[in-house]
Amino acid sequence: MMTARRAFLGMSAATAGVMAFNPLSASRATLALAATPGIVLPPPISAAERLQRIAKAQKLMRAAGLKAVLVEAGSSLVYFTGVEWWRSERLTAAVIPADGETLIVTPAFEEPSVRETLAIPAQVRVWDEHESPHALIADWLRTRRIGSGPVGIESTVRFFAFDGLAKLGVAVQDDAGVVRACRVVKSPAEIALMQAASDITVAAYRETAPRIARGMTPKEIGQIMSGAMERRGGATQFTLILLGEASAYPHGSGKPQEVRDGEVVLMDCGCSVLGYQSDISRTMVFGEATKSQRAVWDLVRRGQQIAFDTAKAGTPAGEIDDAVRAAYVKAGYGPGYKLPGTSHRTGHGIGLDGHEPVHLVHGETTPLAPGMCFSDEPGIYIPGSFGVRLEDCIHMSPSGPKWFSVPPSSIDAPFT
């Protein structure tokens, strides 16, 4: 589980700066550190695989009656084209037609930098500061004569991109789920990169845990964890450290915290390898755990296993969340999302983004399928006291769910 409040939950300024998706910093940092001994990093996604993704998207576009799909800078642009860029008031985007070569649109002065990471054959058209990128795209669509139908807009594209095309008479609509259908199922190459990120995170936990000392702050622990991930070739995405009562609130508290005897230390950390992310949470007690802390920890671990055992191909994603909550209600927590209990979904999809479809949440009807990846984190939170979250990610294989990181067996050995 990641958080929008990390900047004041004990993170360094350098770490907080990579919270928003920035594949440029994530992948280049990873490449620069890839020579670090220990964990062998997989190869990057090939140009051939990106072209296969585009071919799949084009097939889905034709079936949906779309003549093109627009994706803006961010993870979907990386996914299809390799272009690593950020979102600003200046539009950098790709227009993928239902047939033919992809168009990349970017400001003229950014073209050399954008081309550095462009990983597929594509047309690149540029616009100067006094010109309109929307007019450039509209003109390209007219001259290409790529057929009838609207242009699909990927779901995270900002309104100004949609509105600029609409005002020029371009028929625009949502992308009919084309991008989601491509990204939700990961390839073996993607899963290998996510496995490497998970392995790095686990190794970093094992290095960090023995160094936690009485009086340490979340920032100090986070710095140790971040350094341990980066030395192994991971680019830090987040280090959320919740101490004592703060662990009862999934995204923590801005109140001062320090490690104290007998109190919970909840760590939620992740890194990326060539853009693909990990997300692993561990909960321990500094010193001797109480009976109630042990009981909640054991129940959360059982909840994780219930989620894992329920995750079968064809099962609606929401049924995993339902199965865990049913067990928690029997133990006296909830019902539903009420506290004390589990106030958030059982899991979220993960890949190039830390949170992406499909989510393990009540009412989600999407059936699980091989290649889907998601977190398994049915924490329990007791306001005013403490919380426990254990989080490990899963990928669906043809034979069933597989762990990226193996959950711990005991509160006394949370990093094994």
- Assess whether 105 and 222 both reside in one domain: no
- Assess whether 95 and 122 both reside in one domain: yes
pLDDT value of residue 148? 79
Query: Which one, of 114, 76, 73, lies nearest residue 91 by Cα?
Result: 73
Paired residues of 284 in beta bridges: 265
Which CATH number is 325's domain given? 3.90.230.10
175, 209, 224 — which closes off a domain? 175
**Is residue 348 situated within a structural domain?**
yes
Exposure class string for 266-290: b at 16+ Cβ within 10 A, else e? bbbbbbbbbbbbbbbbbbbbbeebe
- Assess whether 295 and 171 both reside in one domain: no
**Is residue 413 situated within a structural domain?**
no
Query: Which one, of 192, 62, 54, lies nearest residue 120 by Cα?
Result: 54
Q: What 3-state DSSP class applies to 364?
A: coil
**Is residue 57 situated within a structural domain?**
no
Tell me how many domains the chain contains. 2
- Assess whether 31 and 122 both reside in one domain: no
pLDDT value of residue 36? 45
Count other C-beta atoms under 10 Å from residue 145's C-beta.
8
- Assess whether 258 and 222 both reside in one domain: yes
**Is residue 375 situated within a structural domain?**
yes
DSSP 51-74: HHHHHHHHHHHHHHT-SEEEEETT
**Is residue 350 situated within a structural domain?**
yes
- Assess whether 238 and 377 both reside in one domain: yes
114, 144, 175 — which closes off a domain? 175
**Is residue 148 situated within a structural domain?**
yes
**Is residue 353 situated within a structural domain?**
yes
pLDDT value of residue 1? 59
175, 195, 226 — which closes off a domain? 175
**Is residue 61 situated within a structural domain?**
no
Which CATH number is 130's domain given? 3.40.350.10
- Assess whether 297 and 218 both reside in one domain: yes
- Assess whether 116 and 234 both reside in one domain: no
Range of the domain at 152: 66-175
Query: Which one, of 350, 347, 338, lies nearest residue 272 by Cα?
Result: 350
How would you write the pLDDT of the chain (416 residues) with one tens digit per residue? 543 323 222 333 333 322 332 333 333 333 333 434 578 899 999 999 999 999 999 999 999 999 999 999 999 999 999 999 999 999 999 999 999 999 999 999 999 999 999 999 999 999 999 999 999 999 999 988 777 799 999 999 999 999 999 999 999 999 999 999 999 999 999 999 999 999 999 999 999 999 999 999 999 999 999 999 999 999 999 999 999 999 999 998 889 999 999 999 999 999 999 999 999 999 999 999 999 999 999 999 999 999 999 999 999 999 999 999 999 999 999 999 999 999 999 999 999 999 999 999 999 999 999 999 999 999 999 999 999 999 999 999 999 999 999 999 999 999 87
- Assess whether 72 and 213 both reside in one domain: no
H-helix segments, 209-344: 218-231, 291-310, 318-330
- Assess whether 314 and 217 both reside in one domain: yes
- Assess whether 313 and 356 both reside in one domain: yes
Cα–Cα distances (Å) from 58 to 37, 53, 68, 146, in that order, read 41, 9, 8, 12
- Assess whether 394 and 259 both reside in one domain: yes
